[in-house]
């Protein structure tokens, strides 16, 4: 019985890990209400901070960085960032004019001066958002 539980736990973990990998390849991750997107280029390690026009937090894993010129980069965090999807706000600090995969973001909690957890970024994947045919 104990061996079956371990096997089931290992199988479940493998399925979850596979779902995250699959989601990253498809520019969505299945963790929340993330708009569908099509990958339009190779992932990059860094983006220029002075070209970030807007950010859209979709859930605890996914942020779209809208750049000047109309390009969008989707960043799927390698691990859950608790509170990010709820608060939909984060801060970052860099010593150069780039935000990179090795950098950390910090969740900014709504209505509070208390900062939330720090979370690592993933690669920046260039995407085009799929427009909803109903909208």
Name the residue among 72, 80, 78 with its Cα closest to residue 125: 72
Q: Is residue 40 part of a domain?
A: yes
Q: Is residue 27 part of a domain?
A: yes
pLDDT number for residue 132: 65
pLDDT number for residue 70: 95
- Kindly give the confidence (pLDDT) of every residue in the chain, 135 residues in length, as a single tens digit, with 9 standing for 90 and above: 443 333 333 333 333 333 333 333 344 444 568 999 999 999 999 999 999 999 999 999 999 999 999 999 999 999 999 999 999 999 999 989 999 999 999 999 988 888 899 999 999 999 999 986 554
Q: Is residue 135 part of a domain?
A: no
Q: Is residue 35 part of a domain?
A: yes
Residue-range definition of the domain harbouring residue 65:
2-129
Strand partners, 105: 92, 119
pLDDT number for residue 31: 54
Does residue 103 contact residue 92 with C-beta atoms inside 8 Å? yes
List helix spans (H) across the chain: 2-25, 84-87
Q: Is residue 113 part of a domain?
A: yes
End-to-end CA distance of the chain: 52
Does residue 81 contact residue 107 with C-beta atoms inside 8 Å? yes
Quote the CA–CA distance of 37 and 74 in Å, as a whole number.
9
Q: Is residue 99 part of a domain?
A: yes
Place of tokens 């935000």: 99
pLDDT number for residue 14: 35
What total number of domains does the chain contain?
1
Q: Is residue 134 part of a domain?
A: no
């Amino acid at each position: 019985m104990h061996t079956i539980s371990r096997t089931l736990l290992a199988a479940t973990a493998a399925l979850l890990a596979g779902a995250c990998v699959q989601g990253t390849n498809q520019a969505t991750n299945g963790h929340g209400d993330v708009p569908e997107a099509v990958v339009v280029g190779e992932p990059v390690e860094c983006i220029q901070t002075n070209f970030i026009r807007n950010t859209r937090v979709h859930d605890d894993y996914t942020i779209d960085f809208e750049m000047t010129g109309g390009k969008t980069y989707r960043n799927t965090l390698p691990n859950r960032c608790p509170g990010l999807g709820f608060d939909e706000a984060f801060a970052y600090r860099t010593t150069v004019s780039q935000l990179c995969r090795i950098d950390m973001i910090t969740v900014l909690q709504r209505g509070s001066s208390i900062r939330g957890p720090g979370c690592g970024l993933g690669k920046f994947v260039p995407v085009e958002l799929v427009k909803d045919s109903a909208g």
